[in-house]
Structure formats: C-alpha cells, structure tokens
Structure 1
Amino acid sequence: MAASARMVSSRSGPKKHPVVIDLGSAFIRCGFAGEPRPIHVVPSPIGGGGDGEGSARTEQECVEVLTGVLQRLYTESLQCRPRERRVVVCESMVSPRPLREAVAYVLFRYLQVPSLHMCAGPAPALFCTGADTGMVLDIGRSEAHVVAVYRGATLTSSYAGVPLGCRAVQERVRELLVEEKEQAAGGDGGGARPLTSRELEDVTVRACLVPVGGVPSPDQVSPMELMFAGHRRVVVSGATRTTAAEQALFEGDEEGRSLATLVLDCLKRCPRDCRRALVQNVLVAGGGALLPGLPARLAQEIEALATAAAAQPLGSSEGYSWARAAVCGDPGGLCVVRVPVRRDNLVWTGASIMASLGGIADRSLTCEQYLARRGEGGGGVVAGLDVGFVRGLAVRGGGCCRGRCTQQQGFRLVRVFLAGIRFLSFFRMLTVATKVWHWAAQAKTLLLFTPAT
C-alpha cells in the first residue's frame, strides 16, 4: 500500500515523469519513466514498422489506426493528461517514413504533447546492463536486428537484420506437426483443421525450447499435450519441441544466415580495435529471446564458428577467421549477459532508465517546433522530423551518434595537427643541430691542419 502511494505521488508531483512508448513489431508497451516494467501491453495494429507490415500503409492510414490506440492508452492505461508529460518513443531503425510521420502527427496534433524524443533501434536496452559498450540483438516477430554501441555512441553502420524471428519458429512448428500427422495417418493428413496463428504462438511459447550442447536430446524430452478452444487437443512430440527453434534460428535460411552469423556480420562492420570490448557484453532482447536456452545456444554457436575458423591460417578470407581474436581472445572473450528484466521488456525498460536520467528535453522536438516546421499547409514534416528526432543513442550523457562521431573526428584532427607541429619542430631542430655539428667539424678540421705562422 505504501509502495503504491509513493508511486502515485511520484507521478502526480511537480516533476512529472515522461511517458515511454515502445512500438514493437508485435506489441505496444507503455508506461512511465523510472519504472522497471511497462504498465500496459497491447497488440500492435500496425506491426511497428520493423517487419515490413507497416511499410505498405500510407500516413493517413497510420494516423487513423494510431489515433484510437494512443488515446485509449492515455485514458484507460496511463490515466494522465498528454499535455503535461513529455513522450519518449522507441521505434525500429528500419521503420517506414509514413509511420514516423503519423506518430508525430497524432502526438502533437491530437494529444498535444509538449515534446517528443524518438530512440531508433534496440540500443536503449543496453541501459539495463549499466555498460556503455556492447551489442544488442533484438529477436522480434518477423525479423532479428542487431546493432553495436561503443562508449555511448550507436554505430549505425554496424546495423544488420535477418528475417528470422518468432514467425519463422512458428512456421517450422506447423511443418513438423503436419509431417507427424501425415506419418501417423499413413501419408494422409486426415483433413484436420490447421492451427491458427494464435494457436501456433501458444504452442511455440509453451512447448518449444532450444537445446544447448545437445542436451536435452529429443529422446529425453517428453511430449506435451495442449488443449485449445472447442475441446481440441494438440500433442507436441519431443522432437518437435527441441528441433523447431533450432532449425529455424540456428541452421540458417536459404542464404545460410542464422542468428550467430548475424551477430558476427555486425561485429565485422565495427572497427577492429573495439571488437573485443563489444563481444564481452552481448545482450539478447525481444520476444524470441524468451525461448528457454536461446541465449546460451547463441553463445555456443558463435564460439563454434570462431573456433572452427581459428584452425585456418591467420588472415584467411574463408569463414570467420577474423573473429577468433575477439571471440576466443584471452583475457575476455564472448559473453552473453544476463539481466534481471524480462527479455521482451528490455528495450522499454532501457528507454525508461534513459528518460529518467534527465537531459531528454534538450534533445527532443517540441510541439512549437513541429508546428512551425510543418506549417499550416501540411508540408515539410519529413524535414522537420529528420532535424528534430535524435536517431542515435548515447548511453552516458546523451547526444546522437552523428554528433558524437563529429566531435571525435574533430578531436582526432586536432591531435593530428598538434602531432604534425611537434614533428616539424623536432625535424627543424634536428636539421639545425646537424648543421651546427657539420660547421663545428669543419672548424675543427681547419684548426688542426692550418700551418702555424
């Protein structure tokens, strides 16, 4: 009772915490900054833009859908006035432009929020580890995304994605169940009604797991019986439970891509001098990370690829021989970290921590700036969003990736310039000393061989 009273007083006090909204590919999470978990989670009607579903919608269609959803979140779940709190929105790095414009339009025009700050990609989840360097792998409904963060700056060039997510596991479960039914019916499926997407999701969450190091084997896992509406019974065998996620996420797709190769491809795009620090803090987030054994199996697969490549000659272009120094290095090496937060809430919780630290207002787009840039005629919204939105993440102190990189490049140029001046000064002093020594040698020679008068 006392804890709830303190929570209510913190929300209604003079310094009101911002609202944090995570536009995921499957769910929309909302809550207040500084809290460990979201208050309300609703299914996403637009797909979050990270899986390609929202890219087919126009801005007007996204506005119509988001208006009702965000209004219900404020009135029923958050129960606060939109005009009194800033907003922090987590979006995908590949979210389409109409979706971004629709989010800003609804928040500023309909709800009239004071300011908006948008975080791109899963990098905010790194706040949950307390580190400013690492890699974040987000396994969503249809795709898996990974990005590297080094000393608080998001390395946007390291971003990589692959269409391997929860939907791939569900499709593999469907195929295995159909094969088992055909084998049991002697080659005939028996005309049974196929499982719906909701039932497949339930089977994946409740029955599937990822074996680590071959343990447990399919023979050691007992079948699971699930009941659905209409007294429908579905029996999931031990082989299906252990091989569905393994085959979908780690054996690779048609192009040979898997979660392990995705992380290594992201690491390859990073500078060589920071790869070892990045692999020492790998964080797995998203709904797909809830599968039992997936983080440990990911570490095992990455180490297996690097170890197999370690037998090749140094500098070989085949496989991942370049990764052996970072992944198999000593001291250090690969480490998939554990955090006391549900992995599907990591991005929201990280954004909640970031918003509670302060400094968001200086890097946000205010309502006045948005209305001035958009204009009464409705044009120029994209340019305004591109200028006002902070697309990168700074784990310590804030700032976008572009600004941080520009500052680092400036410092590097200054250091090079000073080093050049010191080198020129040393070279000039060396030249003068050489000339003095040469003149002294000539004078000594003249004094020794000049006849006395």
Structure 2
Amino acid sequence: MARRSTLAGGRSIAGSLAVHQPAIVIDAGAALLRIGVASEPRPRAVIPTPVALDPVRLVAVRGFRPTTSEWASLLAPVVDELLFRHVVVKTKEHPVVVCDSLLWPHELCEALAHALFEVASVPAVAFVPAPLLCVAATGFLTGLAVDVGFRETRVTPVAEQYPLVGRMRIAAIGATTVAARLRELLGAASSDGGGITDADVAAITDAELHDAVATLCFVAPRGADTTAMTGSATLDVAATRGVVRVSRRMLAEASEALFDGESDAADGRSLASVVLDTLLGCDVDVRPLVIRNIVVTGSLVGLPGLGARLDMEVRTLCREQDAYAALRPLLPDLALNAPACEPWAATWFGGAAVGGCGAACIAKWTIPQPSDEDAAVAGSGSTGEAVRSLDWSAVRDVEAAQEADGAARNADDPTGARAASFAS
C-alpha cells in the first residue's frame, strides 16, 4: 500500500513509527487540498489544489507528462508553502501522511516524497490509500468508499483494510456535471424570457457556477415535482457586478444530473448504477461485508438530501433491473454510514487517525536513507563488524523478526564466545 521513494533515497519500514509528534496529513483532491495536524479535529487549511498536485490539469497545461525530476522541481515551492505557511510546525519532528488517490502517477509520488524529505526534512512519509482512510473514518476497515468528486465519481470497495483496486468503478459524474446542467438550465431560461439574459449567462464564470453548486444546489426526493417549487436564490456575478436570480426548480433539476445518466460524459450511468456495478463486481463473500458500510465523501457530499436520495435510488434500481438480481437479498443490510467527522473531511480524518496513533496495521512509512558518511559511522565499530539491522519492510511480526535475527547471530557465533565476553 505504500510506495517506496527511490528518488529520495528512502526505504520502507512496516509498523508504527517511534515519533513524539503527530503526523501532518495531506489530502489533495481535484479541486481542494486539505492539510492539518493529526491531533486536531479538522484540517488547518482548505485551499485550492495546486496544479503540480493535479496530474490532469498539469498535463493539460504543459502538454506532456513531466518526469520525476521535473515534478520534484515543481513540487518544491508547493511543499514549502503548504508546510511553512499553512501548517507552521517544526517539520523535522512530524512525519507526513499523504492520502493516495490510487490513480496518481508513480512519478508524482516519488517527486512528492523527494520534496518532503529535501525541502521540509520530515522524518518519514506514508502514502495510504484514500478509499481506506475514508472507510476508516467510520471506525471500520471494511466498506464501500463513494467519492463524488469534482470531475468524477470513484467507488472503491475496501475489504479488511485492503482496497480492491481491480473492482473500483469510475464514472464522469461530479461537480462539473452538475455545473454544466445548471448552465444549460440558465441558458434555457434566458431564451424563454425568464428574467435572465444571454449576457448574464455568458458573464457567469465556471468558478462562480461551481460555488453555486456547492452552496445553493440541493437534491430533491425521488419523484418530487420540481416544477411546483417556488422561491429563488441569488448568484453573484463579478463581471457585471450584479446578481442573477436562480429559481429553486433550477437548483433541484441541476442535481438530477447525478441520477438521470443523461450527461454526455456519464455515458448513461448514474451514481446508483456505479455503486451497484461495483458491488456486483465484488466476490460473493465480500459483497455482504462492504454493503453494510457505504461511506459517501467528496466535493458534493454537502448537497442536502444526497445521502437519502442515493440510498433510495440504489434500492429502486436494484429491484427494477434484472442485471442486479444477485444483489437483492443483500438490500436489507445496505447502510450509508456517516463518518465521525464532517463528511467532506472523511478522508483527511482517516489519515489523521493513522498519523495520530501510528496504525501499524495500515501504514508503511518511508524514511530517508542515511548518508554515506552516517552509514560508514554506523556500520563500523571497534571490532570492525557491520551492525545488523532488521528489514522491517519484509515482516509484520516483530517478535518473530527478533527471534530470526537472534538465530542468525547464533549461527555467526556458535560457541557463544561473543556473548560471554559481553557478559564479563
């Protein structure tokens, strides 16, 4: 679950890390980055994700995929700003937990580890799968992580702390889908003479539209008559220094893009169908375990009514379509559980739990390799013998490793002369 940083000269050690300070937790999404200290209940800062930490935007801007060294040079100022401006701690005393989306290129992880070691001199770095941390925020290590993000939705089953990456499903349904539907509705209202002009719609930027989605939109109950909804909300437009009144009907109908599958990018899929397809792709012995702990997080998790509507859509679609007949006996056990924090910070909160207690069963830490001079000093003693060290990345049972190491020492000194001289 952890990547080894070869560029940074790091080596992996399994188990908890003997540190006195809680870890710094970094959760970088497509739109927002959350960073804070594990001992605190919420992130210290929530800021727009830098381009260097978003592979999709970075490749779109540069036109090609950077190498590891190029990525490291781009991440150096980003790490400096994150740790010394937004967190402001002694980085040499705090390890770092990075919430790994599982879709980051290996070069990005290598470069980020390098920047953390070289710029901030952190003692250790752990890359932990984000779906696992999302599920762990509920207190369990098995479940279904539903990340309704900025550009897409990722549904990942987690079984006994292991993300089943081969069963993960991704659909182009997210905040951008709802924003595009809202712009279409505003354009239709302008052509119908609904008090909105074409100039007003053209003046609304994508950022303002996404703010409206996050703060104004809501999810109506299944089968609700949106045409009967009254009232409106105001959308500030900076270009015209004015406001656009958006009806509640538009705000509710824009959220229907998550469930009707009519978006061009969605390819006929909805949130409910993606969840059911993921469950159907799991092994039959895993399905009853993950369906009991479905955790929703991401950019749109704050939409009022999203959880209740998703629960109803999943149950209805499973009953109506024969393709999901194998899942019908499991519907009584289906449960959407809330994490022990704000849902939008579920992944970060899970990382804080790992970074706060070490979590030997979850995290593998990468520590910087000692320099050649330090290695020479550590490897040389008065007898000229190299100091033997355990390979913690290859074992989980500490006692068994110590016994194996003792057996190896006895094999090197069968007469016990070294132990006798030490005792004397």
TM-score class, shorter: 0.7 to 0.9
| Pairing partner for 2:234 from 221, 225, 230 | 225
Offset of 1:333 from its aligned partner?
2.1
SS where residue 337 of structure 1 aligns? coil
Contact 1:219 1:238 in 2 (8 A): no
The reply to whether residue 62 of structure 1 matches residue 71 of structure 2 is: yes
| Pairing partner for 1:154 from 155, 158, 163 | 163
Contact 1:26 1:48 in 2 (8 A): no
Distance 1:291 1:181, change over 3 A: same
Contact 1:137 1:284 in 2 (8 A): yes
- CA distance, structure 2, for counterparts of residue 187 and residue 137 of structure 1: 36
Structure with greater Cα Rg: 1
SS where residue 345 of structure 2 aligns? helix
Offset of 1:102 from its aligned partner?
1.8
Which has a greater percent of helix?
Answer: 1
Contact 1:48 1:92 in 2 (8 A): no
The reply to whether residue 322 of structure 1 matches residue 332 of structure 2 is: no
Offset of 1:171 from its aligned partner?
1.1
Offset of 1:221 from its aligned partner?
4.0
Letter of the 2:38 counterpart: A
- CA distance, structure 1, for counterparts of residue 169 and residue 130 of structure 2: 11
- CA distance, structure 2, for counterparts of residue 253 and residue 67 of structure 1: 39
SS where residue 326 of structure 1 aligns? helix
Distance 1:67 1:108, change over 3 A: same
Distance 1:211 1:282, change over 3 A: same
Show the 5 A alignment for 1:43-442.
Answer: 43-46=48-51, 48-49=53-54, 52-55=56-59, 56-58=64-66, 59-184=68-193, 189=198, 193-215=202-224, 217-229=226-238, 230-254=240-264, 255-309=267-321, 318-327=322-331, 332-359=332-359, 363-368=364-369
Distance 1:26 1:110, change over 3 A: same
- CA distance, structure 1, for counterparts of residue 225 and residue 160 of structure 2: 39
- CA distance, structure 2, for counterparts of residue 175 and residue 389 of structure 1: 53
Offset of 1:206 from its aligned partner?
2.3
Distance 1:270 1:108, change over 3 A: same
- CA distance, structure 2, for counterparts of residue 138 and residue 47 of structure 1: 21
- CA distance, structure 2, for counterparts of residue 274 and residue 249 of structure 1: 26
What is the identity percentage for the equivalent residue pairs of Structure 1 and Structure 2? Answer: 28
Offset of 1:129 from its aligned partner?
1.1
Contact 2:128 2:363 in 1 (8 A): no
Contact 2:43 2:348 in 1 (8 A): yes
Offset of 1:261 from its aligned partner?
1.1
Distance 1:186 1:33, change over 3 A: closer
Contact 1:210 1:297 in 2 (8 A): yes
Offset of 1:48 from its aligned partner?
4.3
* CA distances 1:207-252 after superposition (whole Å, capped 9, x unpaired): 2111123347342242212333353111112221111111244435
Letter of the 2:320 counterpart: A
Offset of 1:113 from its aligned partner?
1.6
- CA distance, structure 2, for counterparts of residue 173 and residue 303 of structure 1: 27
Instruction: Please list every run of 5 or more consecutive structure 2 residues that lacks an aligned counterpart in the other structure.
Output: 1-18, 373-390, 398-424
Contact 1:118 1:389 in 2 (8 A): no
Offset of 1:49 from its aligned partner?
4.1
Instruction: Please list every run of 5 or more consecutive structure 1 residues that lacks an aligned counterpart in the other structure.
Output: 1-13, 310-317, 373-386, 391-397, 400-453
Distance 1:250 1:299, change over 3 A: farther
* CA distances 1:83-127 after superposition (whole Å, capped 9, x unpaired): 221111012111123322221121122222221110123220112
- CA distance, structure 1, for counterparts of residue 83 and residue 219 of structure 2: 38
Aligned equivalent of 1:40: 45
Contact 1:24 1:91 in 2 (8 A): no
With normalisation by structure 1, the TM-score equals: 0.71
Contact 1:364 1:388 in 2 (8 A): no
Q: How many residues align?
A: 351
Larger relative contact order (C-alpha < 8 A, sep ≥ 6)? 2
| Pairing partner for 1:20 from 25, 37, 51 | 25
Letter of the 2:108 counterpart: L
Distance 1:341 1:142, change over 3 A: same
RMSD: 2.9
Distance 1:133 1:359, change over 3 A: closer
Contact 1:138 1:144 in 2 (8 A): yes
SS where residue 273 of structure 1 aligns? coil
- CA distance, structure 1, for counterparts of residue 34 and residue 43 of structure 2: 6
Contact 2:231 2:248 in 1 (8 A): yes
- CA distance, structure 1, for counterparts of residue 363 and residue 210 of structure 2: 42
Contact 2:271 2:310 in 1 (8 A): yes
